[in-house]
Structure 1
Amino acid sequence: MTSDQSWLVISVSTAGAPDSLRVQVWRKLRSLGALYLQQSVCLLPARPPVVREIRRLSVRVRHQGGSARVLSMTFTDPAEEQAVIAELNTARDTEYAEVLQRLPELRRELDGEQARGNVTYAEVEESEADLQRFRGWLAKIAARDYFDALAGRHARDAVEEAAAALTAFEEAALRAEGSGP
């Protein structure tokens, strides 16, 4: 039995187009989480936001002198579809793992500042900016996590734990600055 999931096969050539177009195409397909089947041919689930972005991309490619072909397909072999989904999830898990690998640095920085007695609002602002970068990064990964990769929950939980640590740090900074002159 096959699934009802539709897929897009995207083939893009930027030969004869401005060099910058190749980079634009690569960035857009990367941001959407495309799975490359071979050079210049990739696969994405045909979800409405993806379809809209691919439609826009193919129009841009054609207007700038390249060629783009977008084909709709479904898998006839459920095992093959599951293998593709597993490959997409592995790619997302790798991205989530990078968030999880870098996130402890924010916690270490908060702990270090607290140990040095440098619990100030300036440090809160700096750490808030770092936390916002993590949240933005996580949101970008989640936007292309079409099949709920396992590491996504761990990454979201870790970011929320960092947010809680920052809230505690901020409360300490308010107490420290509130007891000043």
Structure 2
Amino acid sequence: MSEKRKWLILSYRVPAEPSTLRVRIWRTLKSIGAFYLQQSVCVLPLTSSIQEKAIKLQNLISENHGEVIVLEVEQFSDITEEEMIHAFNQQREVEYAEFIENCNAFFEEIKKETSRGKFTYHEVEENEVELVRLKRWHRKILNRDFFQSHSSVESQNKLDECIASLNHFTQQVYEKEGNKEGDLM
């Protein structure tokens, strides 16, 4: 093991009702990339950002009559740490695979519109909205990719291809409409 990491383990118990609190906690933990060891017990690499979010969660749980324990772990055994990193990377691989699948759907949509000669500003706008969604989604996955899983580079390449594909399609629309990019219509 080359670098020493610190970890955060968060264990919580909240009242059964309202269920919205449990869902909120679960969503928050999943959004920051937590790995659940078991129900209501999760682990995260300890960063300043994660620590801030853990404090907010701790306060939320306490304010809602729940119980929470937050442990800072100086180190796991080498094998356990490797297993943790592997588990985190597996979660990201699943997310990246879905993201890449959506990028491929984006390409197919542009290919379909191109083959139909559907070079309209409306199509550009629809695809721009989808590209913004893909960029936001990719950024969220990257923020949770603590250990740079294998698909991180591929996902960035796919996103870059989406951007290039939309730029090319947009240029075709401008040419069809008789405008150059940046010209006033």
By how many angstroms is 1:116 displaced?
Answer: 1.0
**What code does the residue aligned with 1:153 have?**
V
| Residue deviations 1:101-129 (CA, integer Å, cap 9, x gap) | 12111111111111111111110110011
Paired with 1:159 and 1:16, the residues of 2 have a C-alpha distance of: 41
State the SS of the aligned residue for 1:70: strand
Answer yes or no: is the 8 Å Cα contact 1:2–1:76 preserved in 2: no
Q: TM-score if structure 2 supplies the norm length?
A: 0.92
Structure 2: stretches of 5+ with no match in the other structure: 180-185
Which residue of structure 1 lines up, in the alignment, with residue 182 of structure 2?
none
Paired with 2:50 and 2:178, the residues of 1 have a C-alpha distance of: 50
By how many angstroms is 1:3 displaced?
Answer: 4.5
Which residue of structure 2 lines up, in the alignment, with residue 134 of structure 1?
134
Which residue of structure 2 lines up, in the alignment, with residue 155 of structure 1?
155
Which residue of structure 2 lines up, in the alignment, with residue 61 of structure 1?
61
**What code does the residue aligned with 1:21 have?**
L
User: How many positions carry a matched residue from both structures?
Assistant: 179
Answer yes or no: is the 8 Å Cα contact 1:18–1:64 preserved in 2: no
Corresponding position: 1:40 with 2:40: yes
State the SS of the aligned residue for 1:65: coil
State the SS of the aligned residue for 1:11: strand
Answer yes or no: is the 8 Å Cα contact 1:9–1:44 preserved in 2: yes
Structure 1: stretches of 5+ with no match in the other structure: none
Q: TM-score if structure 1 supplies the norm length?
A: 0.94
Which residue of structure 1 lines up, in the alignment, with residue 145 of structure 2?
145
**CA distance 1:173–1:31, shift in 2 (3 Å):** same
User: Once superposed, what is the RMSD of the aligned Cα atoms?
Assistant: 1.5
